[in-house]
Amino acid sequence: MAERMAFLTTPRAERARRDARERLGDWREVYRPGALLPVVGGQAERCMDCGLPFCHAACPLGNLVPEWNRLAAEGDWRAAAARLLATDNFPEFTGRLCPAPCESACVLAIDGAAVTIRNVELAIADRAGEEGWDRPLPPSPYGRRGRVAVIGSGPAGLAAAQQLTRAGHAITVYERADRPGGLLRYGIPPFRLEKHRLDRRLDQLRAEGTEFRTGVWVGRDVTGERLRAEHDAVVVAVGATAHREPAVPGCRLPGVHPAMEYLTWANRVDEGDVVTSPLSAEGRRVVIVGGGDTAADCLGTALRQGAASVTQLDINPCPPRDRAAGQPWPVHPKVYRETTSHEESEAVTGGSGPSAGHSDPSGAGAGPSARGGRVFEAVTVGFEPGPDGRLAAVRVASCVADGRSPRAGSERVLPAQLALLALGFTGPEPDQSLFAQLGLDLGPEGTLERDDGFGTAADGVFVAGDAGRGQSLIVWAIAEGRAAAAAVDRYLRGRTELPAPVSASARTLTL
Q: Residue 17: how many CB atoms within 10 A of its CB?
A: 14
Confidence at 358, pLDDT banded by 50, 70, 90: very low
Three-class secondary structure of residue 108 per DSSP = helix
Report the alpha-carbon distance of residue 328 to residue 333 in Å, rounded: 8
The rounded mean pLDDT for the chain is: 90
pLDDT of residue 200: 97
pLDDT of residue 361: 31
Average pLDDT over residues 418-439: 91
Counting Cβ atoms within 10 Å, is residue 111 exposed (0-12), middle (13-18) or buried (19+)? exposed
Q: Above pLDDT 90, what percent of the chain? A: 81
Average pLDDT over residues 134-147: 85
52-72 pLDDT tens trace: 899 999 999 999 999 999 999
Report the alpha-carbon distance of residue 187 to residue 320 in Å, rounded: 29
Confidence at 141, pLDDT banded by 50, 70, 90: confident
Q: Which helix (H) or strand (E) holds 398?
A: strand 391-398
**Residue 175 β-bridge partners:** 214
233-274 pLDDT tens trace: 999 999 999 999 999 999 999 999 999 999 999 999 999 999
Report the alpha-carbon distance of residue 300 to residue 306 in Å, rounded: 10
Say which residue, 150 or 33, is predicted with more confidence. 150
According to CATH, the topology of domain 6-131 is Fumarate Reductase Iron-sulfur Protein; Chain B, domain 2 (1.10.1060)
CATH of 147-241+426-508, one of 3.30.420.40, 1.10.8.420, 3.50.50.60, 3.40.50.170: 3.50.50.60
pLDDT of residue 33: 79
- Range list for CATH 1.10.1060.10 in the chain: 6-131
Cβ contact 203:158 at 8 Å: no
Three-class secondary structure of residue 266 per DSSP = helix
pLDDT of residue 176: 95
Phi-psi region of 425 (alpha: psi -120 to 50; beta: other; left: phi over 0): beta
pLDDT of residue 371: 61
Of 40, 46, 63, residue with least CA distance to 127: 40
pLDDT of residue 235: 98
Confidence at 41, pLDDT banded by 50, 70, 90: confident
69-105 pLDDT tens trace: 999 999 999 999 999 999 999 999 999 999 999 999 9
Give start and end residues of each alpha helix (H) in 320-469: 340-349, 433-438, 466-469
- Range list for CATH 3.50.50.60 in the chain: 147-241+426-508, 245-423
Cβ contact 380:398 at 8 Å: no
Average pLDDT over residues 414-439: 92
Q: Extract long-range pairs of 326-335: CB within 8 Å, 24+ residues apart.
A: 329/104, 329/105, 329/109, 329/110, 330/54, 330/57, 330/58, 330/104, 330/105, 330/109, 331/104, 331/105, 332/58, 332/99, 332/101, 332/104, 332/105, 333/104
Cβ contact 204:134 at 8 Å: yes
- Which residues lie closer than 8 Å to 494 by C-beta, 6 or more apart? none
Report the alpha-carbon distance of residue 340 to residue 156 in Å, rounded: 26
Residue 454, CA atoms < 13 Å, CB-side half-sphere? 28
245-423 homologous superfamily? FAD/NAD(P)-binding domain (3.50.50.60)
Which of the residue ranges 42-51, 272-281, 354-363, 486-495 would you say has the lowest mean pLDDT? 354-363
**Residue 376 β-bridge partners:** 314
Cβ contact 511:81 at 8 Å: yes
